[in-house]
Amino acid sequence: MEREALLSLARKAASNARCPYSHFHVGTVVVAGGKIFAGANIEISSFGLTLCAERSALAAAISAGAGPVTHIAIACVNAPTEAPLQQRMPCGACRQWIADLAPDAVIYVDQVEPTFRVTDLLPFAFLL
């Protein structure tokens, strides 16, 4: 699938977010083994235990036994148009999940032009 098609699916996945605290609807789609897996952020009252959209989608793909992750598309639909790059990027925990579970994936971030690789997002990741 093309970049924009994947980002559109990520924006759609964001509509399933449960975000009563941050009010930021984030959606992610992962392409693994030729299949698409979606995830949305799910916040609970113990904010540190919140599940990010990126981890939700990666967990769905891994749990389904899908092949290697080739693409990841991330969309925060509430981010203002003028928001800087760092306010659109995955958190540190999600970057490490991507490094471990999708080390060769192409990563698209909504409203950000360049395409990323894990080394762009987390240049000194813990790796085995």
Q: List active site positions.
A: 54
| Nearest residue to 19 (alpha-carbon basis) of 81, 58, 77, 88 | 77
Instruction: For residue 88, give both structure tokens.
Output: 């659109």
| Nearest residue to 108 (alpha-carbon basis) of 96, 120, 97 | 120
DSSP states along 12-57: HHHTT-B-TTT---EEEEEEETTEEEEEE-B--SSGGGPBPHHHHH
Please check whether residue 33 is in contact with residue 67, taking contact to mean a CB–CB distance below 8 angstroms. yes
